[in-house]
Every structure is written in structure tokens, then in C-alpha cells.
Amino acid sequence: MTDETPRPSEDPAPTPSSAPDPNPTLSESDSTSIDQELLAAIGDPARDDSPTPDSVSASPAASTKEPASLESEIAAALAGVDLMALANESTPATGTRINLAGGRRTRTGQIVSIRKGSVLVEFGPKKQGVCPLLQFKEPPTEGSTAEFLVERLDSEGLYVLSVPGSVQKADWGNMDIGQTVEGKVIGVNKGGLEVEVAHHTGFMPAGQIDIRHIPDISIMLNERVTCRVTQLDKRKGRLVLSRRVIIEEERAKNRDAILATLEPGQRKTVVVTSIQPYGVFADLGGIDGLIHVSEISHDRVRDPGDHVKVGEELEVMVTKIDTSGDQPKIGLSRKAVVANSRSAIGNALEVGATVSGTVRKIADFGAFVEVAEGIEGLLHISEISHKRIDRIEGVLREGEVLQVKILSIDSDKGRVSLSKKALEERPAGADRGKGRDSREPDRPEDPEMRKLRAQFSGDLKGGLG
């Protein structure tokens, strides 16, 4: 039998009047307590800091921002940002070459920092690159902007950069026309040089080796050269290089600096680059000047090549600067910085004196010997030795130093006559005819013969011209 009596522990069944209300109404105190707990947990959206329960409003609706205010703040933060471009922008794969819009590979970035020989550059949000500090001629300033050549993306997601025009480590995979690289000359042929760059052989035409003609280009063999890539076809392995372009660019930079400081009257050291019948062209370091034939020496100059050689260094004076035309014209003078030998002859030399001289030039009729700075005398072939001489090259050589005696000086004509045999003892029987007794004294010179000798010996008394 079932016990219908309710257990003492069970609650009595609720009556309809005591059943829970499906939509209960909270009291004001209960509502405030719940709001405070929520605000303490998530913070007040209307404030930057997390408020305490005592500092919030009792009404949660009063603490939230209006939708119009949020939209205005978002619009201000995204001002100037192309969302479509940002969404479509993709990060290139590591190691791939970067090609910017229009095929360009250069872009302007801001230098953020310089550390351990590297320059960190920023192009925009999450776009940074690194460039070797050695490629800068002068250390850059942090915060400044500069133009960079974008090469590729490295394994850390940084762009590998280089300074446009700087010498870069040759990489065949990233090589491009216009890049400046360093290579080694490994071969010479009739048309130019073979240059090894990034384990590939390139060709440098003879006309692209230098701004001036090089008679023997074999002197470049095994030399390391900085050059510019002018033609490139990786599929065919074709690589054409130019060293001339690099030299021209460097000279163009130096030319502006030289012209800015160059003034008439300045003394400069120049290098002879070309010899012409009308004068000599000399390099001032980035621009050529002309030494007119009349400004080479105080004496008359018939052939400038007799006085200077290509590649020789000279000290000159700037006489004229003309920048009115497309190409500046600079006049130089060599004789303005050397003493006038004619006026110095009488003061520096004395007839009958024994001096030391250096053989400067050898001709068929004798040798020109420099006996003082800028002063040369003629040592006639008949005054070299008591013996007969057929070829001067057999007894004298250029650069040889010897002792000579001054026979005569003509200051007006700038001529000095020298003798080497006058300092040597006359051999026994020298200049005597056959069959004559060696004990017979020399016959005095005939007066008429002395007059003839004096009349026709004027052209043989040496000189500077």
C-alpha cells in the first residue's frame, strides 16, 4: 500500500498565488548592484581608465558612446588610408626581387637608426629595410630621408637596400641594367676587355674603358674595376659593361666643385692628357685646360711633344676662365711658373767654369745638357771626345750626369756652348796628320781660318730652342 502522506522534508506544493513570476520586476537597489558589478568587470566604455563602482552612473545607458561619435573617431583614424590597396597588398616571397610601380626599383625612405654598420630604413607601416653603411660617402643622419634601391626581401622580412650609384656586391640573380658593380679583368682581345662579374664573363668595349684612348689596354689585365651594367640578357648570358660612364660621372661632380673655386692666378698641378700642334691639354682633376704652345716655354716651341709627355705632371698657372659657352674654357701657362732661362743665364753661369749637367736629349749633332734649373746647353758632337764619334748614343745616354766646361754664353739668344773633351787630357798624337813627327809642335791657327770658324760656328753654340 502506498503511503500518501507527504514526507516532512519535502516542500509543500506551491499554490497558484506563490508560483514564480516569469517576468519578475527588480527593485531599484537590486538593479543598481548588478550594474555596478558589470561595470567593474568590463569597464566604462566612455572612459579610458577602469572606473570604480562608486564612480559610475546608476544607469548603464548613460555611460555608452553614441554611435555617431564612434563612427567619427574611426573615420578620423583611417583618413588618407586606401583600404582597398591595403587589402590587396601582398608581401613578396622571401628572396624574390622587388619591382615597384612602373618598373621602378627605387623609393624614398626615412632613416630610423644606424647600428653595427647597417642603416635601418622605414618606408611605412610594417615596411622596413636595411642598407650597408659603407655605401654612404658620409654617415647619414637619423630622421633624414634618402633614395634607396630596393633589391629583394630577406628571410627576416626586411627589404635589402642599396644606395643608387654605389658599388654593390655582384649577384647575377638580382643584377639589372644601370647597376654599379665591381669585376676583375680576366682577358684582353682586340675589341676590349673580358671582365668577370658574379661568376659570369662580361664584355667591356675598348671605347668604354676610359674617357681617353689607351694605346695598350693589356695593362688592365688582372685589375679590379668598378663599372656600370649597360646591357644585360640573362637568358643568353650577355653582359656588357662600361667603366667610362663611372669616370664621366665622377668628373662631372668634380668639375662643378673645381669651377666654383678656380680663379686666374692660381697655381695648379695638372696631368698632361693630350698633345696637339697648337698646345697641350691638361687635366685639373675633373676638367681639362689648355696650355697654348706659346705658354709652354719662354723659348720658341716648334713641337710641344719635345717638351712634355702624356701622363706627365706639371705645375701651371691659371690665366683665363671662360664659362660663357656650353663647355668652360680654361687657359693655363707653364712658362708663368718657371724661370726665364735667358735672363738667368748670365747670373747662374760663367764662361770657363766647370759644372755638372744632366743629358736631357740626344740629337744627331750633339746632346742637350741641363746645367742649371731650366737652363740647357749644347754639347756638340765635336766637343764630346778627342776621338772621332760616329754615333752619340754609343757614348752618351739620356739621364746621364757628366762634368762639362762652359765654352761660351749668349744671353740674348739664350745659348750656352759646352765641352766635355776640354776637361780630358789630349791623347798623344791626337789630331796630327800622318807622317808628321810627334815631337813637332802644333802650328798656330791661321787668322783667316779663325775668322771663318767664328763666322760659321754661331749655329753650333748650343741653346735652349
| Contact indicator for 241, 180 with CB cutoff of 8 Å | no
* Same-domain pairing of 332 and 277: yes
Q: Indicate whether 65 belongs to any domain.
A: no
Alpha helix segments (H runs only) across 328-416: 341-348
Task: State pLDDT tens for residues 136-175.
Answer: 878 888 888 888 877 777 777 788 787 776 666 666 877 7
* Same-domain pairing of 456 and 363: yes
Neighbouring-strand partners of residue 238: 233
User: Considering only CA atoms, which of 254, 247, 245, 255 is closest in space to residue 329?
Assistant: 255
Mean pLDDT (the chain, rounded):
74
Number of domains in the chain: 4
Task: State pLDDT tens for residues 76-102.
Answer: 655 554 444 444 444 555 444 454 444
The mean per-residue pLDDT over the stretch 378-395 comes to 87
* Same-domain pairing of 133 and 228: no
* Same-domain pairing of 331 and 366: no
Q: What is the CATH number of the domain that holds 218?
A: 2.40.50.140
Task: State pLDDT tens for residues 419-461.
Answer: 998 888 887 765 554 444 444 444 555 666 666 556 555 444 4
Out of 247, 281, 307, a domain closes at: 247
* Same-domain pairing of 349 and 418: yes
| Contact indicator for 63, 70 with CB cutoff of 8 Å | no
Q: Indicate whether 252 belongs to any domain.
A: no
Q: Indicate whether 51 belongs to any domain.
A: no
181 vs 89, higher pLDDT = 181
* Same-domain pairing of 222 and 190: yes
* Same-domain pairing of 326 and 236: no
Q: Indicate whether 64 belongs to any domain.
A: no
Q: Indicate whether 30 belongs to any domain.
A: no
* Domain membership of residue 422 as a residue range: 341-426+452-460
3-state secondary structure of 386: coil
CA angle 296, 297, 299 (to 5 degrees): 140
Q: Indicate whether 373 belongs to any domain.
A: yes
- Tell me how far apart the alpha carbons of residues 227 and 249 are, in angstroms, rounded to a whole number: 11
* Same-domain pairing of 287 and 232: no
Task: Report residue 250: phi and psi, to 5°.
Answer: -65, -40
* Same-domain pairing of 224 and 306: no
Q: Indicate whether 95 belongs to any domain.
A: no
Per-residue pLDDT for 19 more than 80?
no
- Tell me how far apart the alpha carbons of residues 372 and 406 are, in angstroms, rounded to a whole number: 12
- Tell me how far apart the alpha carbons of residues 79 and 65 are, in angstroms, rounded to a whole number: 21
| Other CB atoms within 10 A of residue 273 CB | 15
Out of 307, 337, 367, a domain closes at: 337
Q: What is the pLDDT, as a whole number, of residue 450?
A: 63
* Same-domain pairing of 324 and 373: no
* Same-domain pairing of 281 and 233: no
* Same-domain pairing of 357 and 456: yes
Q: Indicate whether 94 belongs to any domain.
A: no
Return the C-alpha cell found at 387.
776621338
Count of positions (residues) in the chain? 465
